[in-house]
Each structure stands twice: as C-alpha cells, then as structure tokens.
Structure 1
C-alpha cells in the first residue's frame, strides 16, 4: 500500500480544469450527421509532485483520450491542461518544446511504440536530437547507458539490438527509459502493462515505483486492472462515460467505495485467498454501457444503477469537493 510523500495541496505540477473532448460524427457513421462522441466531458483534477494518480474505468470511458490531451497529442474541445504557467494545448514554438520535455508518455503497446527500423541506441538518442540543448553531445552516450541501467537493461548487450530482439517486458522498459531521457516532471502511463504477462506486469510496476522514489516524477497511471492500480497509486479517479464519478485516496476508495459503479467494479476484482471468495457480494450490472453519442440525462450511470430514482434522471450529480468526492445523489455509506 502506497502513501503519497507530498501533503495534499502542495506542489501541484499538473492541473486539469473542466476538460472536454467531443469528436464530430459527420460523414463517419450513417444517420448520425451532426452528432458528437462525448469522449471526455468535464474532467478536473490536480496532480502533485511525486504522486501517482490512478485512472480506472471500462473500455470506452475516455481514459486514452484523456491521456492524449494531457500530453498535447489531442486538442480539447474546451477546458485546459495547465503545467505551471503554461496551457498545454495553447503552447507554441519554444514554449511547446519546453513542455514536451516536462511531460512524457509511456504508450500501451510495447510492440508498436518503438520504431522497428532503429536500434535501441538510435531510439534513445532521438530525444536529445530533438532537444539538443538538454545535454552536451559528448555526454549523451553515457546518459543513455545510465538510462538502460536504471531500467534494468545491460547497455553492452542491448544498445545495438532492434526492438524485435526483445521481450515485451524489455520493450516496455525501453519505452520507460525513453520517457525518462529528458528528466520530465510528469509521465502519463496509458495502460503500460496491459499487453504484458502477469509476472512481467509486476516487474514493470515495481520499476515505476522505484524510479518515482529515486527521481520524484509524478505519474498519471491509466489502467483497467484495479489490483495493479491499487498497488501503485496514491489517489484513484474512477471514470464512467467521459466523467469522473469518484476520486479519493487509494485506501479510502478501495475500502469504502461510495459510488455504486465503483463498488460494482471492485466486486469483480479476483480474490486471491480461497477462503475469502465466498464473502464478497458480486454485483452484476445489467445492460450495456450507454452510447457516448447520446448519454442518459442526469446521472449517466442511472440506467445500470440499482438505486436510481427520478432525481437521478433529471439532475446531474456534481463531483463535490473534499478528500473523497463522489458524483452521486445517493452515495453509499462510508
């Protein structure tokens, strides 16, 4: 179980303010001209220095779109991602180049995130070629060797190999080394272990934790595996259909979930001890998730919620402020 070394409210490095991303459907899907996919629809949070914020939710809830906006790969429809005094999606020229150094991303698939035609030496040299002022040319090879050593790879053996000559776990380690090359303050990890075997997942997660302790980097860790998120996160944010429905410290959210959707997600997590498997109440949600093109009125979870009332259909519950906020008219008892 992790504990954040930074007190709440101190050293905010990334601030997300009412972030929205709508994708127009015109010409893409028949009979939907003029509609939009509401992939992310009003997400706000702060990320503190040295903290890990876990983001969880079903496939299609908007996690990857959120990740791409955090690093400036996707322009938001409205809202802002602030890094210090800069707004990520408004930055141009030198300001944008500086932001690229401070916010990095580790992509989901280690098989496609590395250029198959480049050696590991060339892949790790590339950040310094794009940002030549970061490090003197004569010191770059030493820095690359240090990066490989930091992620548990042998430079003498691996520098001149190609990505296809590595295992999935080794490739993800190379991706992490590339993200660390420019010494960023924030790394967005978009499903970084979902394509790996369970034993390799543990190695990569433990590596990320060790690097955070040594370097003080902050993570936004996006995943659908709640057990992995609990292991690495200081705080957890739960997404449903483009919105955050509950956030809070890892221990509080996992031990006393207050949103029905969070409780349903946690009830599906496998219990490792056979003796405890019969003690958990499994919650089966009925129906499919609503379409992000036409989400339900009021609370978006109400069509699958076992305690929804008329109020849930007419009024959208806000995500109130506090240590453990929840967007629900009838939150579960803490």
Structure 2
C-alpha cells in the first residue's frame, strides 16, 4: 500500500513537471512568432529635489521619465532617439533594473519585473543585459579582458563551470572579432572600438534575449561606428537577440532599427517603423530633428526646409502643462496648453487604412506630414 501511494505521488509530480514544460514550450513558441517579449507601460521615474542638510525635505522632483509605454518584440530592434536630457538613458536603466521606477510596469514575458528581488530578479537580469555608452569607463582598468568578460560567470556559475570559462571567454572574443589570445591583456592596450567590442562580448556572455545598448557608438569614430553597428546586426541574427538601441545619430538608428521611438522631455512623442518615422513623420518635434540631418547631395539639400526651434528645452523639474513641446512648437494653440495629447494614431488619420505610412501613433493634436523637411529615402 505504501508503494502504491509513493507511485501515485511520483506520477502526480511527473504530471506537474510535464505541464510546466509544456506551458514553457508554448510560451517560447509564442514569443518566437513575434509577440512582445518586453512590455513597458506608463513608466515613470522622478528624482526628488530636496532642501536642507540635517532635516531634508522634498521641494520638487525631476521628471526624467514621465509616462513611457512601448513594446519590444523578439528579434526586433527598437531605436530610441531624442535630445540630451530627454530621458533615454534613464529608460535604459529602468529596463535593466539599475534604477527602481516611481510608477509603471515592465513586463518580461508577461512577468512584472519591477516587483522582483533576490533570486527572481537575478534570473531575469541574466536575460536582459546592457552595453554602456563609454567604452573607456565601462571597463575596469585593473582587470584583464578575460576577467572582465568572465565576470558574469562568477555571478551566474550555472552558465559556465569554472574549468570551462577560459574557453568560453576566448569564444566570445572570437565572436566579436577580437583575437582570442588577447585574453590576458588590459583595457588600456585596446582602441576605443576594440573596447566596445569587449563590452559587447561581456553583454553576450550569459546568452541574453534582450540587450539594451545605451548610445554604444557615440564615443567612436565614424568608420568604427559602422563596424560596431554591423557587428551588432550580425550578432542579432546569430543569437536571436532583441535590441533596445539608444542613440543621437538618426542615420545610425535608421540603419539598425525596425521601429523607432522619438523622446522629448521624458515622453515618447512618436513611434513607428523606420519608414513611417523617417519618411512620413507627423509630429513637429520629429520633423525638426529630421530637418537637421545633413544630406550629401547639394541639390536635394537645397530643396529642403530647415526647421529651427526657438528657445531652450524646458526644465524636467517644471515641464509645461499640456503638451511638453508646446513652448517650442509653431503649431501650438490653446488646446495644447490645457490638454495633453495622447500617443495614439491622430484623429485625422484614423480613417486611413492600417497599412498607410501615416497610420502610426503621434502625440500631437495637429499632427500632419511635412514632406519638405524629410531627408531623401535611402536608396
């Protein structure tokens, strides 16, 4: 009788395990078909402003991120562009849990990671890695390349046993285009582009599903930028990565991104495919950014309109009411002062077909195309 009871218990346990494995396989298949692997909703990050030395009191807050929402699909590259101080890097830190959000949710495969801690958070961080902006300060000068790339294995020893780590590090160096024999060298012995390749290798060490690249090429020469961007595109195909790619350079973002989100003062003001944003932008701020992109063809450049924004970017500690862009916008009216525009398909485009290039979200009450400012389409 005891043996019969043990057999039933083992059968139940095996049944539970089988159901879990089946559910996991179904989930992985669903994400492989292009569902959102990362869902960000109403993300907010306010940094408090305080007064006093002994008895500190909060007198305000810097609204670095003020209600950002987007999806990142498996195998996709989402580019984020905008001026300095618009909140791009803060979004990157929030997604990688280097900062705790003030409000909002970040769901990785359906699980809200903003509420995780301990082992659960550690497991998620293995799948969401980051490549930092500065290849000079993001690498410890006192550690060899082998120690830098192999450090993630110390935190997650289940990925690579100790006896196998040197080989894995050399494989990663080879993957990013560096000589595996460089494993014992120090960061100062490499160029800027080579250092960024080391940073990418470190990000790949745990075989993540998502890499957040925070301006990974802005500190590099133009020729080296192209090499690093092409390397990242190659690695995406090879490892099935999803990228959140942050940059200032609009041409770099277009080259690598499937979709592009434009940020201004803590908010995404327009989001769509690269064609929708670069050839059919409807938000005035996006149009102003595109009008500033230099064109190598003098004849094409002569026929374009240059939009020069007046005034400075408002302080994120005291953003304007209504539309944050209204203080610099030539279209601004009273409605922009009292009513904040939603990031939706504009009313004047809702009757167009879903596959029309202007049928994409734009946070503007008076959204419209302005073809004269757009750089010519890439050939």
**For the superposition of Structure 1 and Structure 2, which TM-score range results when normalised by the shorter chain?**
over 0.9
The correspondence of residues 251-262 of structure 1 with structure 2, limited to 5 A, is 251-262=275-286
Tell me if structure 2 keeps the 8 A contact 1:125–1:144.
Answer: yes
Q: What is the aligned residue count? A: 326
After TM superposition, the structure 1 = structure 2 runs for residues 138-177 of structure 1, keeping only pairs within 5 Å, are 138-156=163-181, 158-177=182-201
| Counterpart position of 1:3 | none
Task: Give the one of 68, 82, 91 matched to 1:57.
Answer: 82
Q: 1:119 touches 1:162 (CA, 8 Å); kept in 2?
A: yes
Q: Structure 1: which 5+ runs fail to align?
A: 1-5
1:282-321 C-alpha deviation (Å, 9 max, x unpaired): 1000000111111111111011001111111110000016
Residue 248 of structure 1 and its aligned partner are, at CA, apart by: 0.1
For residue 293 of structure 1, the aligned residue among 317, 323, 328 is 317
Deviation at 1:9, TM superposition (A): 8.6
Residue number in structure 2 paired with 1:80: 105
C-alpha distance in 1, partners of 2:326/2:267? 14
TM-score (norm 2): 0.83
**C-alpha separation in 2, matches of 1:301 and 1:160:** 51
Q: 1:236, 1:248 within 8 Å by CA — same for their partners in 2?
A: yes
8 Å CA contact 2:77, 2:243 repeated in 1: yes
The aligned counterpart of 2:27 is none
Report the equivalent of 2:42: 18
Tell me the equivalent position of 2:349: none
Match of 1:239 in 2: 263
Q: Report deviation, 1:124.
A: 1.3
Q: Does 1:202 align with 2:238?
A: no
- Three-state SS of the structure 1 residue aligned to 2:268 is strand
Please tell me whether the aligned partners of residues 217 and 228 of structure 2 are also in contact (alpha carbons under 8 angstroms): yes
More helix by share: 2
SS at match of 2:59: coil
Decide whether the 8 Å contact of 1:151 with 1:177 is kept in 2. Answer: yes
Question: Does residue 1:100 correspond to 2:125, yes or no?
Answer: yes
- How far the C-alpha of 1:89 sits from its partner, in A, is 2.4
Tell me which structure has the larger Cα radius of gyration.
2
Unaligned runs of 5+ in 2: 1-29, 346-353, 371-379
Tell whether the 8 Å contact from 1:16 to 1:82 is kept in structure 2 after alignment.
yes
In structure 1, which of residues 321, 327, 330 is the aligned counterpart of residue 363 of structure 2?
327
Q: CA deviation at 1:252?
A: 1.2
Secondary structure of the corresponding residue to residue 277 of structure 1: helix
Q: Does residue 129 of the first structure (1) align with residue 154 of the second (2)? A: yes
Q: Check the 8 A contact 1:257/1:263 in 2, yes or no.
A: yes
- How big is the shift at 1:88? 2.2
CA contact (8 A) 2:193 2:220 kept: yes
- State the partner residue of 1:309: 333
Quote the offset at 1:20 in angstroms: 0.2
Where do 4+ consecutive residues of structure 1 move more than 4 Å? Answer: 6-9
Deviations 1:153-175 (A, max 9, x none): 0011x111100110000000000
- Residue 28 of structure 1: CA displacement? 8.4
**Is 2:311 the partner of 1:275?**
no
Find the aligned partners of 1:143 and 1:119 in 2 and give their Cα distance. 15
Alpha-carbon offset, residue 139 of structure 1: 2.2
Does the 8 Å contact 2:31/2:37 carry over to 1? no
Question: CA 1:312/1:50 → structure 2, altered by over 3 Å: closer, same or farther?
Answer: same
Cα deviation, residue 274, structure 1: 2.5
CA drift of 1:7 comes to 11
Greater relative contact order, per chain length (Cα 8 Å cut-off, separation 6+) = 1
Give 1:134 shift. 1.2
- Look up the match of 2:16: none
| Deviation at residue 33 of structure 1 after TM alignment | 5.0
